[in-house]
Amino acid sequence: MSWIVYHNNRCSKSRNAVQYLTEKGIDFTTVEYMKSPLNAEELTQILSKLHMKAEDLVRKNEAIYKEEYKGREMSEAQWVEAMVKHPSLIERPIVIHGDRAVVARPLEEIDKL
């Protein structure tokens, strides 16, 4: 089963997850979702593996969240579309192994996979 890390190189937590997997000798694929944004179907599949609602994956300290989304009642599909439109809203790093996934905060979450 392959490992995938949805990674933002500008994020220290994301860089730490990549280093953690490397040090453990785990072979993984890196997806830099800020450079190659996810589509709604991909993000929905990731949410299914995380067993999370879309709103729970949103980074609520981001300026774009505070400016455009804070306090709004939105459907699951609307939250997915917001994250597709603004990938910076996606909490990171997301680590997937097979049909399971975690948001690697803290890093030890990876060990659950």
**Domain at 64, CATH number:** 3.40.30.10
Is 14 a known active-site residue? no
Rg of the chain taking only CA atoms, in angstroms: 14
Answer for the pair 38, 65: CB distance below 8 angstroms, yes or no: no
pLDDT tens sequence across 3-41: 999 999 999 999 999 999 999 999 999 999 999 999 999
Q: Report the length, in residues, of the chain.
A: 113
Q: What is the pLDDT of residue 1?
A: 73
| Domain, as residue range, for 14 | 3-112
The number of folded domains in the chain is: 1
Residue 80 binned pLDDT confidence (cut-offs 50, 70, 90): very high
Annotated catalytic residue: which of 3, 4, 11, 74? Answer: 11
